[in-house]
């Protein structure tokens, strides 16, 4: 879907969705979601330069994501989406600037873009030109990442409390609970790793903007420099936080696996103790269960009670020994 906007002093104003040539000629910014071939051609006519395809936007080479071509500047960042739906995914988001025109190409309806559109008409948003729109969208993406990282950190802290909670009864139930927590740790680690990748791509984009300021970016004045520096500081802060969360999820994963192993070893220990206690009486019972004709004890009046007594003593001795050793 292609949406055309005019950029005014009060922010972007929608002209039309799927505009015709006349409406497109009045636009200064077009936003394309899941572009078709015809929409790609319309965007190229609008900008006067090619627009990256989905395959080109997904490439990891720096030259494919950040380039200058025919006076136009292309920048592609990786955006984290689908977190609220428990389906975190990374999707490319492309800015193409040429002269006083801007095109954005996206492949998901992510929250940060909706937040930008809700705030774009505010005077302090700075969306009075295409470059201001690029900055405002980038700030919205950073703010959304900060919210995701904060929420993920709270979830990881909650998992930390559940893992190390002191629970004595229901050992098997606790083991099953820890096994379920393993899945939750994996989900949170997936969000953290995808957030780190998104933050890294934004950091590379800010570095590209500040390094030489090619093409239309040369129009950035000194008043915008504090805005760029603030974005850089926010990105570095988020990068440090995601590194911390990544290390914490690794620790929790190791701790959970260790606790599960300890509980499984406890089961094996109990079975070993039981087998050790029952082995001597089982041996005695097996001996006196043999069907030989000549067994001296068969004629003893007290042979049966004696055998039972031997089995009881044989079980009691290892029980007392293991009890003193603290095995149970």
What are the tens digits of pLDDT across the range 213-247?
A: 666 776 677 777 788 888 889 999 999 999 999 99
Residue with tokens 């095109």: 103
Residue 289 has phi, psi (to 5 degrees) of: -95, 0
Looking at the fold, whether 312 and 189 belong to one and the same domain comes out as no
Does some domain include residue 274?
no
Reference 175, options 254, 274, 258; nearest CA is 258
Tokens of 321: 């020994």
Does some domain include residue 118?
yes
Q: Confidence class of residue 171 from pLDDT cuts 50, 70 and 90?
A: low
Looking at the fold, whether 302 and 195 belong to one and the same domain comes out as no
76 contacts 92 by C-beta, under 8 angstroms: yes
Looking at the fold, whether 215 and 316 belong to one and the same domain comes out as no
Does some domain include residue 281?
no
Does some domain include residue 273?
no
- Angle subtended by helix axes 130-163 and 171-210, to nearest 10: 160
Does some domain include residue 270?
no
Residues 6+ apart with CB under 8 A from 279: 318
What are the tens digits of pLDDT across the range 263-293?
A: 777 778 778 888 878 888 888 787 777 766 6
| Residue 146, pLDDT score | 93
Looking at the fold, whether 293 and 260 belong to one and the same domain comes out as no
Output the CA–CA distances (angstroms, integers) from residue 267 to 136, 220, 236, 261, 273, in the order listed.
58, 67, 47, 10, 10
Q: For residues 75 and 95, what is the distance between their CA atoms, to the nearest angstrom? A: 5
Q: Which domain holds residue 307?
A: 288-324
Does some domain include residue 230?
yes
Does some domain include residue 67?
yes
Does some domain include residue 246?
yes
Reference 95, options 60, 57, 46, 61; nearest CA is 57
Does this model's pTM top 0.85? no
Looking at the fold, whether 95 and 227 belong to one and the same domain comes out as yes
| Residue 235, pLDDT score | 92
Looking at the fold, whether 106 and 195 belong to one and the same domain comes out as yes
What are the tens digits of pLDDT across the range 40-50?
A: 888 888 888 87
Number of domains the chain contains: 2
């Amino acid at each position: 879907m292609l949406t055309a906007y005019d950029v005014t002093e009060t922010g972007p104003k929608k002209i039309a969705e799927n505009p015709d040539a006349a409406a497109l000629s009045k636009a200064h910014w077009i936003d394309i979601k899941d572009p078709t071939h015809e929409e790609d051609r319309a965007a190229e006519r609008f900008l006067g330069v090619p627009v990256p395809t989905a395959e080109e936007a997904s490439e990891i080479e720096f030259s494919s994501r950040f380039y200058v071509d025919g006076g136009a500047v292309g920048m592609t960042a990786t955006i984290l989406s689908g977190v609220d739906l428990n389906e975190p995914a990374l999707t490319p988001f492309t800015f193409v600037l040429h002269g006083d025109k801007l095109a954005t190409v996206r492949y998901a309806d992510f929250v940060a873009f909706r937040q930008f559109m809700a705030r774009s008409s505010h005077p302090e948003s700075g969306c009075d030109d295409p470059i201001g729109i690029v900055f405002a969208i980038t700030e919205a993406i950073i703010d959304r990442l900060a919210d995701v990282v904060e929420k993920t950190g709270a979830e990881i802290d909650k998992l930390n409390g559940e893992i190390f909670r002191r629970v004595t009864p229901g050992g098997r139930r606790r083991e099953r609970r820890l096994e379920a927590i393993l899945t939750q740790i994996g989900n949170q680690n997936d969000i953290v790793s995808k957030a780190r990748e998104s933050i890294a791509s934004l950091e590379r984009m800010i570095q590209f903007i500040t390094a030489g300021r090619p093409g239309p970016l040369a129009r950035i004045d000194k008043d915008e420099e504090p805005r760029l520096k603030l974005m850089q500081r926010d990105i570095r802060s988020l990068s440090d936080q995601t590194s911390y969360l990544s290390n914490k999820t690794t620790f929790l994963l190791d701790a959970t696996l260790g606790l599960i192993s300890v509980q499984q070893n406890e089961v094996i220990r109990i079975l070993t103790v039981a087998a050790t206690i029952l082995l001597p009486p089982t041996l005695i019972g097996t001996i006196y269960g043999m069907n030989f004709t000549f067994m001296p004890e068969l004629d003893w009046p007290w042979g049966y009670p004696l055998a039972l007594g031997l089995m009881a003593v044989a079980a009691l001795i290892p029980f007392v020994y293991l009890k003193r050793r603290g095995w149970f």
